[in-house]
A and B are shown apart, each in its own frame.
Chain A
Amino acid sequence: MSGPLVETRDVEKRFDLGGYFWQQDKPVVRALNGVSIAIEKGESFCLVGESGCGKSTLARCIMGLLDLSEGEVFYKGEQIDRLSAKAMMPYRRRMQMIFQNPYASLNPRMTIQKTLEEPLRFHFPEMKNGEVRDKVEEVMTSVGNDPAWGTRYPHEFSGGQRQRISIARALMVDPDFVVADEPISALDVSIQAQVLNVMMDARDSRDLTYLFITHDLSVVRHFGTRVGVMYLGALCELAQTKTLFDTPRHPYTQVLLNAIPKLSTTELIHTPMMGEVPTAIKLPSGCVFHPRCPYANERCSREVPAGTTLDDGTVVACHAVEENRI
């Protein structure tokens, strides 16, 4: 197969905030402003950014959980963003999602067995009971869960166990592409490692492609093959993980990398960033980062930067990098 597995082209998403019908310009949240990414097969593509930067919105747009305002989404070269629910069905089987909070994403009134069987019964109604049970057992074992858990309910499990059950549920229908939206942020440190390991094992044994959304850059360094950094609904840098951590180009990426708490024997030194995160209702003109950027000039406040591809393949949307000012 040639071409990326999943691709977005200039995706925009706006949320209307109501207002009155006579109002000329009603308030609109501009959550995504022209985001283009291409995820190759076998990648663990990470999206990072602060809350409100649009990373979860992008994931939901890709999964078809939200309608796009502008732009296109492709899966193996086929456009999937304007499909009817019925036409979307085969893609839903191939694209699965793991959510952040394992306490909210499992139905408390369904046994684990039921929870895991449901996607199979839905996508493969012709499957026999025995086959379904075998499949549940196989997937449960592969994520390190005891298949005997089937008769129990979600409240009987700890956070890490629940998250492994959510992973099992996503893997039930043999997807190619899994979106994981902050899958480990709600878990304890020692459990985070367990869940990450399960996800990496599944990637290797099942040939999965991940879109991994997180705000934790230390996890990205460990898990990701490529990273997209988002700020206020725009992609500011897209690079190989190692390149991004060794030579962060975009000023925002540099700030973000400096902010990671590191295990150290020296005291915290912090250089604060100017200003606060603006809201997506009133986006700054030009480059959205310019009011907080130390390298901003007049052009930055006027012109939206387009992505520049550098020699090592990194794409940076920054006038200062383009003009070799930094």
Chain B
Amino acid sequence: MALLEVKNLGIEFPMRREVLRALQGVSFSLDAGERLGIVGESGAGKSIAAFAIINLLSKPGRINAGEILFEGRDLTVLDDNAMRDIRGNRISMIFQDPMMTLNPVLTIETQMIEVLKAHREISDNDARKIAVEKLREVAIPSPEDRLKSYPHELSGGQRQRVVIATALLTNPSIIIADEPSTALDVTIQAGIMALMLNLCKSHDMGLILITHDLAVVSQVTERVVVMYAGRVVEEGPTADIVTHPKHPYTRGLIAALPQEGTAGKRLNQIPGSMPTLDAIPDGCAFHPRCPHADDVCRASVPEIVKVGNQFSRCVKATELAEENSL
């Protein structure tokens, strides 16, 4: 049995005149110690899916279908108390901007000890020891001194390391990281991603990495879920998706990356932009931007089908796989 299983999840936002459907029929699973990437552009619904897992959906958003099974328990029906045992304890989350996540008026020590005390009976001294140990694991130099620092005294990379250390305090079985390195410089980004990769391996921890950067995903994760306009459009082993993307959207994304061979020439752009939630096209949501679209695509939402090692939500998946132009 998978550690975490999201089944047919739907999320909607009731507005004054209409109901916006942010997620429709999203399913994916994560085994213990597995690293999963969720890729998509802004508005694809990747962050919403993560927030739903730890029950942090902001109002008026609500789950209207499906279930989220963590160790066999459905998280969507848990009450607040039971959820608090899981969130930040068994499943931790890391956000994009470490300056927003850390409280600027409290020392690192106060913030780290607070997390431990919220989840278990522990003395300040023991909590401090665990905090120092975790800071050491994320390669913060002289952790005892750093505990006394305020967030503004640390650099961006250091701050994100502190946030990761805080997420590790309770030895969670899953870490959800929402664009953990996007706000950082390239040189620091590589360090943070390498750290996350090593921590997941050494602690046998599951990782859900949410990002728009296919390159980062290709280097860190084992499996990828590609999302578009609230649906999963492609899923499969990372290596297969990177080398042989099946869905036209994934192909477009990979083709749009600036690469060595094409220097100076026009890039292969995907025309148009992602639809907003109040204007998701009928049929396949990608059809207005898709070079292969025809009447079938406009008529109904395609099922997700297995093609080789992957799953693709495209009626022409098999056909396209055969001609495989990439």
- Most chain-B Cβ atoms within 10 A of its Cβ — which of A51, A190, A222, A259? A190
The proximity string for B residues 213-226 relative to A, scoring 1 for CB distances below 8 Å and 0 otherwise, is: 11110111000000
Kindly state the separation between the CA atoms of A122 and B153 in the bound complex, as whole angstroms.
45
Q: Assuming the A-B contacts A50-B185, A262-B219, A270-B191, are A191 and B243 also in contact, with contact meaning beta carbons closer than 8 angstroms in the complex?
A: no
When distances are taken between beta carbons in the complex, the residues of chain B under 8 Å from A273 are 187
Q: Is B273's beta carbon under 8 Å from chain A?
A: yes
> Are A193 and B194 in contact (CB-based, < 8 A)?
no
> Are B219 and A268 in contact (CB-based, < 8 A)?
yes
Quick one: which of A159, A194, A221, A261 contacts B260, CB cutoff 8 A? Answer: A221
When distances are taken between beta carbons in the complex, the residues of chain A under 8 Å from B186 are 50, 215-217, 256, 259-261
- Most chain-A Cβ atoms within 10 A of its Cβ — which of B242, B243, B273? B273
> Are B266 and A189 in contact (CB-based, < 8 A)?
no
Kindly state the separation between the CA atoms of A200 and B197 in the bound complex, as whole angstroms.
37
Q: Is B270's beta carbon under 8 Å from chain A?
A: yes
In the complex, how many residue pairs between chain A and chain B have their CB atoms under 8 Å apart? Answer: 129
The proximity string for B residues 33-49 relative to A, scoring 1 for CB distances below 8 Å and 0 otherwise, is: 00000000110000000
Question: Which positions 257-309 of chain B face chain A at CB distance < 8 Å?
Answer: 257-260, 262-264, 266-271, 273-274
> Are B218 and A263 in contact (CB-based, < 8 A)?
yes
B205 to chain A, nearest CB (A): 16
When distances are taken between beta carbons in the complex, the residues of chain A under 8 Å from B274 are 188, 190
Quick one: which of A191, A215, A265, A268 contacts B185, CB cutoff 8 A? Answer: A215
When distances are taken between beta carbons in the complex, the residues of chain A under 8 Å from B190 are 258-259, 261, 268, 270
Q: Is B107's beta carbon under 8 Å from chain A?
A: no
B286 to chain A, nearest CB (A): 11
Q: Assuming the A-B contacts A193-B267, A193-B268, are A219 and B258 also in contact, with contact meaning beta carbons closer than 8 angstroms in the complex?
A: yes
A208 to chain B, nearest CB (A): 15
The proximity string for B residues 112-138 relative to A, scoring 1 for CB distances below 8 Å and 0 otherwise, is: 000000000000000000000000000
> Are B42 and A261 in contact (CB-based, < 8 A)?
no
> Are A221 and B258 in contact (CB-based, < 8 A)?
yes
Q: Assuming the A-B contacts A196-B258, A276-B158, are A267 and B219 also in contact, with contact meaning beta carbons closer than 8 angstroms in the complex?
A: yes
Quick one: which of A200, A245, A267 contacts B266, CB cutoff 8 A? Answer: A200
Question: Which positions 272-307 of chain A face chain B at CB distance < 8 Å?
Answer: 272-273, 276-277
A146 to chain B, nearest CB (A): 12
> Are A222 and B264 in contact (CB-based, < 8 A)?
yes
Q: Is B239's beta carbon under 8 Å from chain A?
A: yes
Q: Assuming the A-B contacts A268-B219, A276-B155, are A190 and B252 also in contact, with contact meaning beta carbons closer than 8 angstroms in the complex?
A: yes
Q: Is A308's beta carbon under 8 Å from chain B?
A: no
Q: Assuming the A-B contacts A223-B258, A256-B187, A276-B155, are A190 and B270 also in contact, with contact meaning beta carbons closer than 8 angstroms in the complex?
A: yes
Q: Is A2's beta carbon under 8 Å from chain B?
A: no
A99 to chain B, nearest CB (A): 18
When distances are taken between beta carbons in the complex, the residues of chain A under 8 Å from B212 are 188-189
> Are B187 and A190 in contact (CB-based, < 8 A)?
no
Quick one: which of B194, B216, B238, B257 contacts A218, CB cutoff 8 A? Answer: B257
Kindly state the separation between the CA atoms of A192 and B268 in the bound complex, as whole angstroms.
11
Quick one: which of A189, A193, A196, A267 contacts B197, CB cutoff 8 A? Answer: A267
Q: Assuming the A-B contacts A51-B185, A190-B253, are A221 and B263 also in contact, with contact meaning beta carbons closer than 8 angstroms in the complex?
A: yes
Q: Is B24's beta carbon under 8 Å from chain A?
A: no
Q: Is B254's beta carbon under 8 Å from chain A?
A: yes
Q: Is A197's beta carbon under 8 Å from chain B?
A: yes
Kindly state the separation between the CA atoms of A194 and B258 in the bound complex, as whole angstroms.
12
Q: Assuming the A-B contacts A50-B185, A268-B190, are A263 and B258 also in contact, with contact meaning beta carbons closer than 8 angstroms in the complex?
A: no
> Are B197 and A268 in contact (CB-based, < 8 A)?
yes
Kindly state the separation between the CA atoms of A250 and B181 in the bound complex, as whole angstroms.
25
> Residue of B at shortest CB range from A258?
B190
The proximity string for A residues 198-240 relative to B, scoring 1 for CB distances below 8 Å and 0 otherwise, is: 0011000000000000011111011100000000000000000
> Residue of B at shortest CB range from A279?
B155
Question: Which positions 238-253 of chain A face chain B at CB distance < 8 Å?
Answer: 241-242, 245
When distances are taken between beta carbons in the complex, the residues of chain B under 8 Å from A277 are 155
30 A-B contact pairs sorted by A residue (CB < 8 Å):
A50-B188, A158-B273, A190-B252, A190-B269, A193-B269, A194-B270, A194-B271, A196-B258, A215-B186, A222-B258, A222-B263, A222-B267, A242-B263, A255-B187, A256-B187, A258-B190, A259-B186, A259-B190, A260-B215, A261-B186, A261-B189, A261-B213, A262-B219, A263-B218, A263-B254, A265-B218, A265-B239, A267-B197, A268-B190, A276-B157
Binding site for B on A (CB under 8 A): 50-51, 158-161, 188-194, 196-197, 200-201, 215-219, 221-223, 241-242, 245, 255-256, 258-270, 272-273, 276-277
Among all A-B residue pairs, the 6 with the closest Cβ atoms: A270-B194, A222-B258, A261-B215, A268-B219, A193-B256, A188-B41
Q: Using A50-B185, A189-B214, A194-B271 as known contacts, list a sample of 12 further A-B pairs with CB atoms less than 8 Å apart, ordered by residue number in A.
A: A188-B212, A190-B41, A190-B253, A193-B269, A197-B267, A197-B269, A201-B266, A261-B193, A265-B218, A268-B219, A270-B190, A270-B191
